[in-house]
Structure 1
Amino acid sequence: MQQRPGRRSRVPRAVLAAAAGLGVIAGLTLRTARHAGVLDPGTPDPELAVSLRLVCAAAVLAAGTLTYLTLVRNRDEPLAMACLPGLVVTGVVLRHLVVTLPHVARFQPSARIAPGAGAWVLLVSGVAMTVTGLAAAFAVRRAG
């Protein structure tokens, strides 16, 4: 039984996109910020906001759907679009890391707020989805 050309590389990319989606789900359940001290009353919680978590969850749903379509249709075109949800997750987490956390000194410098494990898992998963989608896009372009 011979395998069609391109089939070999399609499944690992789809598996990587699915694993990255599971990584985002895992990252959404973990804390995205940790602080040793107690914040002053009325200080905004440094955790990733619920609305941003919902955006990440919607991106995972989109990436999962695209992965499923890739496997069902035996074509890389749907998976190529997985870079878009990956960019969404990466952008949300970078916003959380770059915009929110550096301004912690105005809340309470002694709190020592740092990115939590969830933020790093989300960032790695978003980058993995983006890279997977781009690899599939280059495969489609090369084949076409």
Structure 2
Amino acid sequence: MAGNRALAWAGATAAVGGGVGLALPTAHYLPSHLPPGAAEPDLDLGLRLACAGALALAFALAVLTLRRHQAEPLAFTTLTGIAVAGILLRYLVITLPGADRLAPSAAVQPTAGAWVLLASGLVLAATGLAAAAAAQRGR
């Protein structure tokens, strides 16, 4: 029971932390050094909205877990964590090096927002897996 509460609080905290990460910039670059018409290397609005939806769902699952005192709802945060971490890993691995090749003088680098979102996604995935294991042990 206490383990479920701790996991739920960890999931809720990770979801709120990810929300903070969404508000932060995800790339540092010099806009004046990007070629005309080049896309900004920062995480775009569509991906931010996808992450926001996943984080809101994770927060709702954590609240549901706290109210029901069961680990089953929290186990689904594994999926939201994988979604957020997957978006950020793809962004970091593909987008940033691609932008740097497009305009090397822009010196594109990931910033705090990218790392906070990635950490939030990984924590949510780990929390969901731990909740799933706790639910399985409880049966």
Structure 2 residue aligned with 1:91: 86
Q: Is contact 2:15-2:59 (8 Å) kept?
A: yes
Larger Rg: 1
- The residue correspondences of 1:69-80 to structure 2 (distance < 5 A) are 69-80=64-75
Structure 2 residue aligned with 1:127: 122
Gaps of at least 5 residues in structure 2 are none
Q: CA RMSD in A?
A: 1.1
> How far apart are 1:31 and its partner, in Å?
0.3
Alignment match of 2:27 (pick from 33, 36, 46): 33
Distance in 2 separating the partners of 1:111 and 1:54: 26
> How far apart are 1:38 and its partner, in Å?
2.2
The structure that is helix-richer by fraction is 2
Distance in 2 separating the partners of 1:131 and 1:88: 13
Tell me if 1:12 matches 2:11.
Answer: no
Query: Scaled by the length of structure 2, what TM-score is found?
Result: 0.95
Distance in 1 separating the partners of 2:8 and 2:100: 42
Aligned residues: percent identity?
46
- The residue correspondences of 1:95-106 to structure 2 (distance < 5 A) are 95-106=90-101
Query: Scaled by the length of structure 1, what TM-score is found?
Result: 0.92
Tell me if 1:140 matches 2:138.
Answer: no
> How far apart are 1:104 and its partner, in Å?
2.2
Distance in 1 separating the partners of 2:17 and 2:33: 29
Amino acid at match of 2:113: G
Amino acid at match of 2:77: A
Q: How many residues align?
A: 138
Gaps of at least 5 residues in structure 1 are 1-6
- Superposed CA deviations along residues 83-113 of structure 1, whole A, max 9, x for unmatched, are 1111110011111101111112432111110
